[in-house]
Chains A and B, each alone.
Chain A
Amino acid sequence: MAEAKEKKLQKKSGVHMFDVVLYIVFIIICLIVIIPMWKVVVDSFNALGVYQFRFWPENPTFNGYLTIFNTHKLYRPFMNSVITTIIGTFIGLALATLGGYVLNQYDMPGRNIFSMFLMITMVFTGGMIPEYLVMKQLGLVNSMWILVVKHGINVYNLVLMKNFFEGIPASLIEAAKIDGCSPMGIFFKIVLPLSKAALASIGLMFAVTIWNDYSTVQIYIQDPDQVNFQYMLRVMIMDGDTPTSPYKNVSQETLYYAAIVCAILPFMAAYPFLQKYFVKGVNVGAVKE
């Protein structure tokens, strides 16, 4: 591989310099991104709350992680986050695809009204107390399901979905129509199977939003059994309110760095499987003429 590269470089003279610069730039960019994260990971294994940059934990311990998974106060929110994120993403995708698909029916009477109906919500909101009162009516105050309901509908993602659907060749759909397929049939048999890339990337957007939300929790939820992990993380970091660890030698820093890692780990894990879709995904729809 390297040899082939070398040959290529030799063949095109004058390109050499450019590539060197590129490599240097790339390495710098990667370092800038990685160093802060590396420090977080290293410190999550550090028994001592140290502040200097280390390449490797000095006195490695898993106690930070053990604390998180053995403390009900942290473990329960973690599971809440997992549950709400999965279900919320599911509902979010369902509504975004349905809405996006319908909005694409330019010959449907009332399409513009629907479009207006959705667009208004992107700008006008009722304010906090009215929202609170509605959620209370729905019985969602003090319940983690508020995360699912509140983020289940996202007009912005719906628009992205619609844009993606526009990229599906109309001829395919016309053909199906001629074959006597119903709108729903077309949706399930043609549109969805062709939209895996968009489903993956927009699904990820939903997941990120729901997983990372703490302000909703702060406003609506007081029951410690109903809060999510991001909220606990915030409480720990911003208010310094770390739960008592049953383990020895867990400094506050160790614990909350470990918590930060737990908060980003699910995405790190899911990410390699989804990455291939991104480029093809949502943005193709957004840019397509």
Chain B
Amino acid sequence: MSRKQDKLAQQVLGDRKLNKKSLGARMWNCRGYYLMFLPVFIFVLIIYYWPMLGIRYAFFSYKLRDIHWVGFENFKTLFSTSEFWRAFVNTLQLSITKLLLNTFAAVLVSVFINEMANLLMKKTVQTVIYLPHFMSYAVVAAIFTLFLSPSSTGFVNETLKSWGLIDRSIDFLHNKGMWRPIFYLINMWKETGWGTVIFLATLSGINPELYEAADIDGATRLQKVRYITFPALGNTIIVVLILNLAKVLNMFEPVFVLYNSRVYEVSDVISTYIYRKTFLTAIPDYGYSTAVGLFKSVVGATLMLLCNEASKKVRGRGIM
């Protein structure tokens, strides 16, 4: 609330300045800011914009040092490749489901943590569930690959066998039907805890008077959760979803460390497809992989604009 007022005041202030001073004078006034932005500007220019000149290669054939113009040939190939479309659909499915599940789990756990009265327990749980976030995907994948291995060295299979639940080892990560559920579970294991940080922050901001008022009205604890806690999170959930939706096409590492050729059908995403075309090809055509990347960027930009609009609607300002 007060923030909006501040902004309003700023705007008024700005307008007044606008009336008074020329653009040059205003810029001169802000010279300090420009100076501060300079290092950022230079870094971004070098690290992001300089390589962007390479986008032109999407219209070239680029194998080893042989570069020649091919027009839209790369895109024609791209759009007629079923492997690419499969990757495109998979990307959306995997990454959106993962986003929803992770958010859902994080909300649930946050509410639990919020309800916990025992401070020590609360702290312990928080500490524990944040930990997996700090492990790289490579490490997480290594642990779970070992755990789920179908050979006699696999912990999960051997345990299930010793309990008599299964006779024969299940090859979890090579099974088309099981790969996705396991992928989601592993990702939830890794990121749910970290995801709660944002929701717990929101929950800690709920006015305690609301709960007190509910107490006076004789509400049960479940009712309080249902009518106060969850609605309070609504806005945050939407913001989290929007902020992350813009990035859904970028998913690479989580898939890359867990997938294998037998489950490509359900697991191959655009970034892994680009990776294979660029790295696992003896003499790659960099023009083609740039074209795939460019297509990804265009779709990503569209998503980003949509999310920006959505963000403006929901919380009155864009992502940035």
Contacts and interface: CB of A to CB of B under 8 A. Distances in A.
B88 to A, nearest CB: 16
Given A26-B112, A26-B121, A125 B51 contact: yes
Interface stretch (B130-138, B165-173, B262-270): B130-138
A264 B135 contact: yes
A184 interface: yes
Contacts of A34: 128
B304 A286 contact: no
B163 interface: no
A52 B23 contact: no
A118 B152 CA distance: 51
B220 to A, nearest CB: 6
Interface in A122-156: 122-131, 133-134, 138, 149-150, 152-153, 155
B242 to A, nearest CB: 11
Contact residues on A (Cβ < 8 Å of other chain), bracket: 35 or more
A22 B143 contact: no
A51 B134 contact: no
Interface in B117-142: 117-118, 120-121, 124-139, 142
A137 to B, nearest CB: 8
A51 B189 contact: no
B51 A127 contact: yes
A281 to B, nearest CB: 8
B197 A279 contact: yes
Interface of B: 1-4, 6-7, 9-11, 13-14, 17, 23, 26-27, 30, 32-37, 39-41, 43-44, 46-55, 57-58, 62, 109, 112, 115-118, 120-121, 124-139, 142-144, 146-147, 152-155, 158-159, 189, 193, 197-198, 200-202, 204, 220-222, 235-236, 239, 243, 246, 253, 278, 286, 289-290, 293-294, 297, 300-301, 304, 315-316, 319-320
15 contacts: A26-B125, A39-B143, A101-B36, A105-B33, A118-B40, A130-B55, A131-B51, A167-B3, A212-B137, A260-B143, A263-B139, A271-B130, A271-B134, A275-B130, A289-B1
A273 interface: no
A237 B143 CA distance: 10
8 nearest A-B residue pairs (beta carbon) = A130-B54, A126-B51, A212-B136, A183-B32, A283-B198, A126-B54, A107-B14, A121-B48
Contact of A98 (B37, B46, B135, B220): B37
A262 to B, nearest CB: 11
A242 to B, nearest CB: 13
Nearest to A212: B136
Contact of A29 (B1, B41, B109, B293): B109
B30 A108 contact: yes
Interface of A: 1, 5, 8, 14-15, 18-19, 22-23, 25-26, 29-30, 32-34, 36-37, 39-40, 51-53, 94-95, 98-99, 101-103, 105-110, 114-115, 117-119, 121-131, 133-134, 138, 149-150, 152-153, 155, 158-159, 162, 166-167, 169-171, 182-184, 187, 208, 211-212, 214-215, 230, 233-234, 237-238, 256, 260, 263-264, 267-268, 271-272, 275, 278-281, 283-284, 286-289
Contact of B315 (A23, A158, A289): A289
B47 A23 contact: no
Among A53, A103, A279, which residue has the most Cβ atoms of chain B within 10 A? A279
